[in-house]
Structure formats: structure tokens, C-alpha cells
Amino acid sequence: MPADALLSIGIATKGRPVSVRRCIESLASLGALVREIVVVDDGSEPAIERALRDGLPDALSTRLRVIRHDVNRGLAASRNRVVLECSAPFVLSLDDDTELRDPDGIIRAVQAIEGDSKVAIVAITQTDKDDVAWPGMQPAAVTVPSIVASFIGYAHLLRRETFLALGGFREPMSIMNEEPELSLRLLDAGYHVLYLPGTRVAHLVDPYNRDSRRYLFLSARNNVLASLYDDPLPVLLIRVPMRLVGYFRMRRGWKIDDPGGFVRLVGNLLSNLPDTWRRRTPVKLGTIFEWRRLVRSPRPYVAPEAR
């Protein structure tokens, strides 16, 4: 394990040993840049470590560490555990069904985040099995490096120290919309999300454990949770009703039959409201405005040496 390497790789997984094995094997192209590969097995049955190590080349096996949650804790908690367990200053967090095909792009991303202390996360272009960028599934519709509002969690490079200092992902959110919530807190603390459109990671979507009703529930609930956690009170009073109504808009748009779904949504929010309110850390009103400006108009990035 190269102790002076700048990059740790983190992968959170549950029940996808074939996909995560393919992901790990694709990391060989990064060579000595990688200090370690940390996999958090979030309650897979059976445990997946043996399947990952069996026949794995020594160059990868010696850097691989597998940590198991005996009980499923959710994606946000697993990603947080990944970063906590990593030791390099920068962590490339990958979904288990990704594949690295552009090592030079990752090297450029590491150079960018290392060279600018205000960059907390580097967002990456999401491509399909043919290495073609997915239309409408990118951090922003830009062609040059830009400061953007948020990132897509499937693959992102993060500054470990900053991520941990801000508390990482909100674990009760688990999955869906946890990335913009974290991005808002980063912006409030004076950090940026940098999108490098030329940096690519393939997302070879594994259908295991994907359920449209569950994603609808989590998307609608987490939109409300994000407001409860982060919005200044005047904004919260406007946004929470709007985001509750957004459940019906998403249900129609996604064409999902979800009997009783809204009642379950409201019941979940009410039952967890005391804990949610205790975790509340509202951002500045100016941060909300700045975040919305970045959603509409990402800002072309100027590296420190060119400012």
C-alpha cells in the first residue's frame, strides 16, 4: 500500500458482488495513485468479501479492505463509513455498479482538488455502457469546467477532511437527493462543487434492489427533510408545503401507481420530526440564493493560478 498516495477509493455495496468485483478490477488502471480500496458491505446476504477476493490480482487484493455492516444501514451511512475508514486526503466514492474507463480524467480531478482548497467535491460525467454521456443525467449542462450547484453521488471525488468536518451525508436520508443537501451545506461553509465535464465514469446500472415506489417515497420525503434540516424559517414555511405537493407531480411524471403513498410519506415525516428538528442546521438566506443561481447558471471555473 503506497502510504504517500493521494487517493483512496470507497465503494458502498449491498447484494451486488458481480458488479462490485467488476468495479474493483477496473481500478487497476490508476496504479500507484491509489492508497487503498475500501468497500463497505451494507448487510449483503451472504457476505461478499470472499467473492471479491477470490482470484483478485495481488496489486488490488493487498489494497482492498472490506468492512461489513451486519444490519443494513442505508447508502448514506455506508458512504459516510467509507470516508471515515479511508486515510488518503481525497476519496473517489463510487457506486458498486460503476466502471472506471478514464484514469487520466481521475488524475486531472485529483490535481484540480489538490490545487484549490475551496473545492470540496469534483463532480464527474455519468456515461453508459458505450461510454456515452447520459442526456439529462449530468451535474450541469456545461462543456467547460464549472462551479455547479450539486453533484451525482454515483461517482464523485471528495476532500475527506472537509466532508467529515461538515458531518458527511445526512444518514436518515439514506438515498435520493442527499447530494444537493450536502452541496448546500458545503456552499454555506464557503466550499464549491467543481464539475469537470471531460472526466468520465461509466454507470452500468445493476437492477438489483431498485424499486420505483421506494424511490418515489424517498425522493419526496428527502426533499422535505432537506428543507427541515437546512432552510431558514421563512423559506421552510414556503418550501415544505410545495415539496409535499411535489409528491403528486413526481408520481404522475414517473407514472407510478402508489396507493396510500402520500399517507405513508406524511406519517413518516411526522414520526421522525423531533429527531429531524434536533439535527436542523439552517444555512444563510444568501446561500439559498447563491445555490439557486448556480442551478440556473453554473459559473465557469478559474483555477487559483489563473485568478
How many residues comprise the chain?
307
Domain boundaries, the chain: 7-203, 212-271
CA distance 99 to 22: 7
Give residue 167's pLDDT. 96
Query: How many C-beta atoms surround the C-beta of residue 263 within 10 A?
Result: 9
Which phi and psi (to 5°) does residue 29 adopt?
A: -70, -15
Q: Does 1 score more than 60 pLDDT?
A: no
pLDDT tens, residue by residue, 21-66:
999 999 999 999 999 999 999 999 999 999 999 999 999 999 999 9
For domain 7-203, which architecture applies?
A: Alpha-Beta Complex (3.90)
Give residue 205's pLDDT. 82
pLDDT band per the 50, 70, 90 thresholds, residue 95: very high
Which phi and psi (to 5°) does residue 166 adopt?
A: -90, 0
Give residue 156's pLDDT. 97
Dihedral angle over CA of 271, 276, 278, 280, nearest 10: -160
Q: Which three cell numbers stand for residue 278?
A: 434536533
The SS3 call for residue 158 is: strand
Mean pLDDT, rounded, for 128-145: 92
Query: How many C-beta atoms surround the C-beta of residue 2 within 10 A?
Result: 14
> Hey, CA dihedral for 92, 98, 100, 101, is it positive or negative?
negative
Secondary element (H or E) of residue 12: strand 7-13
Secondary element (H or E) of residue 200: strand 192-203
Give residue 3's pLDDT. 57
From the list 39, 34, 33, the residue with the least C-alpha distance to 15 is 39
pLDDT band per the 50, 70, 90 thresholds, residue 211: confident
Strand partners, 126: 201
pLDDT tens, residue by residue, 140-170:
999 999 999 999 999 999 999 999 999 999 9
CA distance 104 to 110: 10
Of the ranges 19-28, 175-184, 203-212, which one carries the lowest mean pLDDT score? 203-212
